[in-house]
Amino acid sequence: MDSLLVASFPNSYSYSTTTTATSRNLWRTKASANNYSSIASFGAPKASRHKRNIQKEYNNLKFWKPNLSLYCRGAEGCNRKFVVKAAPEQSFESEQPAFDPKNFLDAFYRFSRPHTVIGTALSIISVSLLAVEKLSDISPLFFTGVLEAVVAALFMNIYIVGLNQLSDVEIDKINKPYLPLASGEYSFATGAIIVAASSILSFWLGWIVGSGPLLCALFISFVLGTAYSINVPLLRWKRFAVLAAMCILSVRAVIVQLAFFLHMQAFVYKRPVVFSRPLIFATAFMSFFSVVIALFKDIPDIEGDKIFGIQSFSVRLGQKRVFWICVCLLELAYGVALVVGATSSCLWSKIVTGLGHAVLGSLLLHHAKSVDLKNKASITSFYMFIWKLFYAEYLLIPLVR
């Protein structure tokens, strides 16, 4: 059907005599059109009111079109509005897209930042293995304790990364437009519901389990994650490079190592607290790694951070300098790990940890030389490679003896 043209006019105008006459002719034409429509429809087969109304408007506007154009030319400041074309049987009501569970889950996968989810799960499992003293310790009790800790921590992880996205929607439209909130796949309300539900479920599971170290880890992570992202006075610590790095360091390097080890050692196994050599090594090594992650994650996001006043180290020092600082810090950590492995009293631990860290350090240097610092995709790819090194380290940590 032809486009339906709707014209809206100001409340008061001064019209010329010609315009007034044209207006009278317009309304006569409208009346004639209505009569024509009524006569044409008399005796016809019964049709739906919807179709009759559309046909009536169509007939009216066919008659109106020449006069309506003249009328608009005669009126100063006449505003014209147009509506979309519609077929005779098409509804004028806007249709909401149907809910698609597959698309929702795909968006949730990206919303949860899977590389952080994998890192959290691996770190808890790895640290929990440090509490294993003999083969019989790997029992249903062990798996139950690990599962309780992992599930509660993953809900808290989703709260932290989700809150960061809620606070950074406008920044992410520049830095990470593929995220659900920035792309519009999730509304702000949907994101807020997921974030709130995740925090409630995390604390609820921690309370049900009744582990003091687990609750302590969840609470400190909640406080630091909130302070890092939320945009209220004295908070939003991500604006300040040192505070942002300290938040990530505290959670990834200290809380994860100590709290989840104590959860297994003291709460699950009911043993006295002993800070073993592998635990001290894991905490020290992951301190280096957490600083690298805190520094490197801002390198690809320098464009949006500059616009919104986020004073990251990459903004202040430049991408190239921060990039090589991160590489040097990790190589230093791998060097320390080689020394720790070489001084181990256990032969198989000496070989595995020494060889493993030598290989990882070599891979890091090889990949670093091939990164194009002018290409955001290349930098982001290397950042994901650093997370793979992070995962690999947690596979080696239980073997340090």
What distances in angstroms separate CA 280 from CA 53, 295, 299, 354, one per listed residue?
A: 80, 23, 30, 17
pTM: 0.72
Q: Report pLDDT for 303.
A: 86
- Cβ neighbour number for residue 110 with a 10 Å cutoff: 17
Distances (CA, A) of 347 to 339, 394, 399: 14, 20, 11
Give the E-state strand segments of 58-170 in sequence order: 79-82
b (16+ CB within 10 A) / e for 203-214: bebbeebebebb
pLDDT of residue 92: 38
In Å, how far from its chain's centre is CA 308? Answer: 18
Q: What is the DSSP letter of 94?
A: P
Q: pLDDT by residue for the chain (401 residues), tens digit each?
A: 444 333 433 343 333 344 444 444 444 444 444 444 443 444 444 445 545 555 555 455 444 444 444 444 444 444 444 344 444 444 434 444 566 778 889 999 999 999 999 999 999 999 999 999 888 999 999 999 999 999 999 999 999 999 999 999 999 999 999 999 999 999 999 999 999 999 999 999 999 999 999 999 999 999 999 999 998 888 999 988 889 889 999 999 899 999 999 999 999 999 998 888 899 999 999 998 999 999 998 898 888 888 888 888 888 889 999 999 999 999 999 999 999 988 988 899 899 999 999 999 999 999 999 999 989 899 999 999 999 999 999 999 999 88
The one-letter code for the residue type at 209 is: V
Instruction: Please tell me the distance from the alpha carbon of residue 56 to that of residue 222, in angstroms, as a whole number.
Output: 63
How far apart are the C-alpha atoms of 96 and 272, rounded to whole Å?
Answer: 59
What pLDDT is attached to residue 15?
Answer: 38
Strand pairing partners for 79? 8
Residue 136 vs residues 140, 141, 171: alpha-carbon distances, Å: 10, 10, 51
